[in-house]
A and B are shown apart, each in its own frame.
Chain A
Amino acid sequence: MQVPILKQGAYLIASIQSALSDADLMQLRDALVAKVSTFRSRGVIVDVTVLDVMDSFASRTLRDLVHMIKLRGAITVIVGIQPEVAFAMVQLGLTLEGVATALDLEEGLAYLDNKTIKKASAQRDG
């Protein structure tokens, strides 16, 4: 099942569906990295609101995704981790360290706006 990736200005938004297999996750990772190049996106939002289980593989693949996109010069934020999922992740010891998260899509967009403006002004003044 392919995850829909929408372009919103300089950002890409991927909304994960609940029944995501390992192969789907890896496909999403590769598709996002490719699209960042194609659309010269500056930010990526991965919306996991509907994801009902975040296990070690999902956690690792999301972390890899974030770092790969960072190497391509863009920022990723994971949004919508549900309370029960967050609880299970902490029990399992999955911290998603190094990964930016936000409560929901709105917060995620605000985060990206903030980060990309800071980046642009740093480059200007630096």
Chain B
Amino acid sequence: MDETRIAIRVDMDVVAARQSGRTLAAELGFNNTDATLIATAISELARNIILYAKEGEIILSTLHKSEPCGIVVVARDKGPGISNLEQAMKMGYSTSGSLGMGLPGVSRLMDEFKIDSRPGLGTTVMVKKWKR
């Protein structure tokens, strides 16, 4: 399976990750709106890595049936992990600022959302989007 790995360490990496995502989405035939949603989701996930884990990686790959039909984005880090996952999945953005990691928002942007996070062991978020 073809994979693109983007190391996330500084803010320019966030730009690189979302541009890679947009390029891959376009190559796979996603429409402009979906490509934007994917790039936005990648941006948020990459930014979370920098904010909470200092460094990690974004891995992009393709979903296949008989032909390429979707994209998988994995955001992985070895940071402190999320201690209250249930709460994190409830906290979105508030009007006064950004509360938490915007995970509910990211899950709304994509079709599938899976998160594995343990305090002290890091966090892995996997999101998928299928072509319409």
Contact = CB atoms under 8 A, between A and B. Distances in A.
Interface string A6-50: 000000000000011111000000000000000000000000000
B19 interface: yes
Q: Which of A23, A82, A83, A84 is most buried by chain B, counting CB atoms within 10 A of its CB?
A: A84
B103 to A, nearest CB: 11
A88 B39 CA distance: 10
B92 A93 contact: yes
A57 B37 contact: no
B108 interface: yes
Interface stretch (B62-70, B94-102, B114-122): B94-102
A52 B26 CA distance: 13
B36 A55 contact: no
A104 B103 CA distance: 31
A14 to B, nearest CB: 18
A55 B40 contact: yes
Interface string B78-103: 00000000000000110101100010
Interface in A46-67: 52-57, 59-60
Interface of A: 19-23, 52-57, 59-60, 82-85, 87-88, 91-95, 97-98
Interface of B: 11-12, 14-15, 18-19, 22, 32-33, 35-37, 39-40, 43-44, 47, 92-93, 95, 97-98, 102, 104-106, 108-109
